[in-house]
Amino acid sequence: MIDGFIKVAAVTPEIRVADVTFNKNAIVAAAREAYKNGAKLMVFPELCITGYTCGDLFLQDILLEGAKAALKDIARETAKMDALIYVGLPVEDEGKLYNMAAALNKGKVLALIPKTFIPNYGEFYECRHFASGRDKKGYMDLFGEKVPVGNDLLLKCINYPKMVVGCEICEDIWVPDTPSTALALKGATVIVNLSAGDELVCKDEYRRNLVSMTSARLVAGYIYASAGEGESTQDVVYAGHDMICENGEMLAESKLFSTGIIYGDMDLEKLIHDRRRMNTFEIKTSDKDRVIGFSFDEVRETKIERSYMGQPFVPGNERLRKARCEQILSIQAGGLYKRLKHIGCKNATIGISGGLDSTLALLVTARAFDMLGMSRENILSVTMPCFGTTDRTHDNAVRLTRSLGATLKEVDIKEAVNKHFSDIGQDSEVHDITYENGQARERTQVLMDLANKNNGIVIGTGDLSELALGWATYNGDHMSMYAVNVGVPKTLVRHLVRYYADTCNDKETTEVLLDILDTPVSPELLPPTGGNISQKTEDLVGPYELHDFFLYHMLRNGYAPKKIFRIAKIAFEGKFDEETILKWLKTFCRRFFSQQFKRSCLPDGPKVGSIAVSPRGDLRMPSDAVADLWMKTLL
């Protein structure tokens, strides 16, 4: 449970209808297997001790007493397991029969949670046997002890208080006002559902969406354990559809018509972080809340078996990736469209270098002009060769401009930069930060003045990853009048350009875009070596694939650097070694804090995803914040 991870399990055991001894043994065997594999929270299906399809046999004392005896045996046989276990059974109290979930820990029944909503439609006729547990509150005598009863009960781990578990049963999730809603708003971070829904055509898809969206709506973990084929009888068939979700993300899902165990490494810290950042998610606790404490013998490190995408900003599925690229280009172009329309501007100026970022910005600008019905000739595409410009990037900038129908202007800035160096006493043979930034600021001055001359605006080209690292010249490429790429991380820029290349109908445009994609990322501020790029960004600042991973998990999930390092080793196993990951993670943390002053005065630009660094939106961070607490976690 260190770093917030806890291994959970949803179990569909093999059962026999009304055979409590067989079912008890199957439940215990499955619990032992799950515990051996590290599960600290296990959920079994609704009425699994007796079987859900017992019908009028539920009215027989022999079945009810057998279920109670089996529960006692299950508690005893799992007493040495350092885990919380939920099993389902029928329980009679005060002359009424309830469909209940029993929560077990270290040999004790901690709580009995009754089903609130009793279905009585279609193939379901539970009202024939069971009463609603809506008003069933208080305590029940069970095995010589007073056991809390109610659908409002919360089980909270004393020595790991992030784990607060609420329970609902099957139909409870299908209604408008679910018990889990109230439980989550009282602090439950995990909801368990003991279910026994039969299988129908397309019901699995509906059920999957229901569980996923409930998890997302409640910003909670959700464990759904469903009855399997052992329940199938007469006119109904059961498929054992088990699911484990975390804030809408499906961590694990069983195959239909199967029995067994699925596992998920649930991240409770992530869930709590998501709730904390959403001021609309209001947890309201009171002294009247019924919270039952339990504890684990040890809070240990969970072996993480869930996978992590090395590029979290980029969908792994090709169909989704293409749809995402189209949507992002539309958002970028839509933002620029509105700005141009609002100010009545018919001209745009953009610095084009032959690199990925300026290429994407030009493509977006062209799309915005198309939306406005304006000629692309009103886009002034400016190439400004200087000391580090190579023939390859220069020629690609020229070819792309012409293929898109924009207006090309070349301004060689070498003489102007050398004059500036002379004015300030900078030795042009000293290739320091002044040498590099002087070129970037001269380019920005040229763009700004050309925009003024043509009654246009300067379109910014810098991307989200560069802003996170501060890899931009202050008041140089850092500044523009509208920055279309500020919400797009570097790993996604490449896919957007590739998508445009794959979907445009112009052969020349496609060819030049493919060559740009094959060109190393570089600011080209140092003289080339043998005609080739001598300054490669990722050699200096680190792989953008790593930095985008760090950025995503720090801002989206609120992870500490130590936790980011832990999951990065999983995500990049076989690609980057631990030493490399740690080196660049330290670089990221240091630069992210030290370069905030650049982000504090960013120009407007469209937010396209859940991560953004605009000082007017997502990131209200002081420029002088100290990184020591974050850096110390990596020592």
Query: Is-catalytic flag, 115?
Result: yes
d(CA 238, CA 257): 7
Domains detected in the chain: 2-294 (3.60.110.10), 318-542 (3.40.50.620)
- Among 86, 70, 100, which Cα is nearest to 11's? 86
Query: Is-catalytic flag, 170?
Result: yes
Q: Which range, of 104-108, 371-375, 540-544, 550-554, averages the lowest pLDDT?
A: 540-544
d(CA 393, CA 356): 10
Summarize the confidence of residues 305-328 as an average pLDDT: 95
Query: Which one is catalytic: 24, 115, 136, 490?
Result: 115
pLDDT at 530: 74
Would the pLDDT of 536 be above 80? Answer: no
Question: Could you read off the pLDDT of 501-519 as tens digits, one per residue?
Answer: 999 989 999 999 999 999 8
* Average pLDDT value over all residues in the chain: 95
- Collect all residues with Cβ–Cβ distance below 8 Å to 577 and sequence separation of at least 6: none
| CA atoms lying within 13 Å on the CB side of residue 488 | 32
In this structure, are residues 594 and 584 in contact, taking their beta carbons and an 8 Å threshold? Answer: no
- Mode of pairing for the β-strands spanning 164-169 and 190-195: parallel
Query: Which one is catalytic: 167, 170, 325, 589?
Result: 170
pLDDT at 300: 81
SS (H, E, C) 222-245: EEEEECCHHHCECCECCCCCCEEE
d(CA 572, CA 550): 12
Find the distance separating the first CA and the last CA of the chain, reported in whole Å: 21
Would the pLDDT of 389 be above 80? Answer: yes
Q: Rg of the Cα trace of the chain?
A: 31
Would the pLDDT of 366 be above 70? Answer: yes
d(CA 113, CA 101): 5
Would the pLDDT of 534 be above 70? Answer: no
Question: Could you read off the pLDDT of 229-247 as tens digits, one per residue?
Answer: 999 888 899 999 999 999 9
Summarize the confidence of residues 313-325 as an average pLDDT: 94
Summarize the confidence of residues 420-428 as an average pLDDT: 96
Question: Could you read off the pLDDT of 493-502 as tens digits, one per residue?
Answer: 999 999 999 9
Would the pLDDT of 533 be above 70? Answer: no
d(CA 492, CA 392): 23
Query: Is-catalytic flag, 145?
Result: no
**Strand ranges in 428-480 using DSSP code E only, listed in sequence order:** 457-460
Reduce the DSSP state of residue 322 to 3 states and report it: helix
pLDDT at 199: 93
pTM of the model: 0.92
Query: Which one is catalytic: 24, 40, 46, 345?
Result: 46
pLDDT-above-90 percentage for the chain: 92
Q: How sure is the predictor about 1, in pLDDT bands with cuts at 50, 70 and 90?
A: confident
Reduce the DSSP state of residue 466 to 3 states and report it: helix
Would the pLDDT of 526 be above 80? Answer: no
Angstrom CA distances, 84 to 6, 152, 378, 556, stand at: 12, 18, 67, 30
In the 8-state DSSP scheme, what is residue 344? Answer: T
**CA trace torsion 313, 317, 323, 324 (10° rounding):** 0
Reduce the DSSP state of residue 630 to 3 states and report it: helix
pLDDT at 485: 98
**Facing residues of 139 across strands?**
148
Q: How sure is the predictor about 424, in pLDDT bands with cuts at 50, 70 and 90?
A: very high
Question: Could you read off the pLDDT of 4-44 as tens digits, one per residue?
Answer: 999 999 999 999 999 999 999 999 999 999 999 999 999 99
